[in-house]
Amino acid sequence: MPQSVLSQERLRSLLRVPVSDAQLDDLLFSSKAEVAGRDGDALTISVTPDRLDLLSEAGLALYLEGALDAVHGLPRVVAGPSPSIAPGLDVDASVAPLRPYIAAVVVRAPEDSALDAGTLAEAIRFQELLHATIGRDRRVASLGVYPWDRIVPPVRYSLEPLDQVRFVPLDGTEEVPAEDFFRDHPLAARYGEFGRIGNRCLVLHDAAHAVLSLPPVLNSRTVGEARPGDRELLLEATGTRARSVRETLGLFLVVFAGRGWSVTPVEVRGPGPTRDDGAAGIAPHSIDLPSAAVREMAGEPLSAPEVERRLGRSRLSARPHEGGWRVEAPPWRPDLLTPADAIEDVLLAVPVRPESGRLPPSFTRGRRRPEIAFRRRLATELLGLGFSAPYTSLLVSEGTVARVPGSVAIRIRNPVSMEFAYLRDRLLLSHLDVLARNTRHGYPQRFGEVGPVIVPAPSSEAGGATRYHASLVLASDSAGFSDAAAYLDYLLRGRDVVAVREPADVLGTIPGRAARARVAGEVVAQLGEVHPQILTEISVPVPVAWAEVDLTALWPLVARHEGR
């Protein structure tokens, strides 16, 4: 879970009502966040990946004020005054092949206040957290903060020759050529490839040709360094996806909007889809919430005033709409996309505790479904055969899927991490990872598991269907096709069925050393020897035999006598 370290003193200073440590623990425990630790003034908060706004002091304070019934409804984003020189951002067509999207706002401190060291530290900390999560280590999106009063608008975003760019890096004291910066600076070594093509690099500079930054690597020290005392700041986000750029900037905005800073959208002028007046990026977005969906998912009757009160406690607004409500959410809540997301906030607004549970009015006791009992018996048999049961995730990495060319594993849209970017379509993918992580141990190695997989299903709303498989893997000097076949036959005969094997080309196996197994004409299993090329990639020095049974396909064929 993402974590951040906040200041307890600064958090409490943003609240209109006092809150004790016990209250804070209790409120967060029933939300999507929790207190992971305290050390003096330092408060470590962990959240689920969809509530990153709670990892800023301002965002957490907004949530707590609603949870404490101090303030209800949508937080107000103060519109900034019309500046004497309208802020604008010109995008050159040259950036399109590398990092085409950009969005920006100007934020202004309330009267008689300015940027302080604590808020600046929070902004920098939250900025890096957004880089690591939504930004995927700056690959997809990155942020910049600049002092607006030291910038001569309009700002220009372009791809320029390295030999024409010079600037003072944020951590430096002397002006350096861009060529030297990309060659020598550690941040350029880490992020430079995202902002450079050949002998050209991305540059943000103002009308006076002063360099603000080289996105997404580093700001300049001259007009690119925000300092305590600044009253007006330019916030910008660049990236490869328009949605990621908008979400990142919207989340970052909470640091300032949550403290009452006013916000002025920045018009983006450029070719094609990059053109934008900026207003949509700071405006609330709406979701239609049908009352029927609330009744179905809540599990208890909720009156219209109660639903509206709970949404208000979640710092959302709700007004009656045809068949339900229209819910509005602030820019720092990109997680609210569907009615189910809004219903989740309705349910979390009132803490659910163990003592809140009620025994269903039934005279019968519940029990496991026969199909589940069938899967559990098979898992126990694998354990009895000497196959260790690893714990593997339904989500696998891009590299794992790439090991088996031709795999139909479904890619997740906008995954939090590339380590969990695909839904496995077979347990073999996860078991190859297990083998790769255990090369330091001796052989033979035997793994067996019963677990879910997701296979493509175009007719399904989600595009995939959940099935359950049983897989066994044997890695040893003598492992071969006959071992996989023997274990498969044993498992199937234990179900009182005999399978017919037929030669087949199975992904990830050696041609001629693989097969499919049919029962009553239905394909229920695949087996074979894992291809040596895959074993070389994962550094496994011995042959590997594998068999995998589709339990979802097998169950209807054995349900009559297995369901007892």
- Confidence band of 359 (pLDDT split at 50, 70, 90): low
Which residues, in sequence order, are CB contacts of 260 under 8 Å at separation 6+? 78, 110
**d(Cα 282, Cα 263) in Å, to the nearest integer?**
8
The CATH label, of 3.30.450.40, 3.40.50.80, 3.40.190.10, 3.30.930.10, for the domain at 370-562 is 3.30.930.10
Considering the segment(s) 88-281 as one domain, its CATH architecture is 3-Layer(bba) Sandwich (3.50)
pLDDT, one tens digit per residue, over 502-546 is 999 999 999 999 999 999 889 999 999 999 999 999 999 999 999
pLDDT at 307: 93
Range(s) for CATH 3.30.56.10 in the chain?
3-67, 287-352
197, with CB counted inside 10 A (0-12, 13-18, 19+), is: middle
**d(Cα 295, Cα 409) in Å, to the nearest integer?**
35
- Confidence band of 148 (pLDDT split at 50, 70, 90): very high
CATH 2.60.40.420 fits 3-67, yes or no: no
- Confidence band of 563 (pLDDT split at 50, 70, 90): low
Query: CA 111 from chain center: how many Å?
Result: 37
Beta bridge partners of 500: 518
pLDDT at 354: 64
CATH class name, domain 287-352: alpha beta
pTM comes to 0.67
Range(s) for CATH 3.30.930.10 in the chain?
370-562
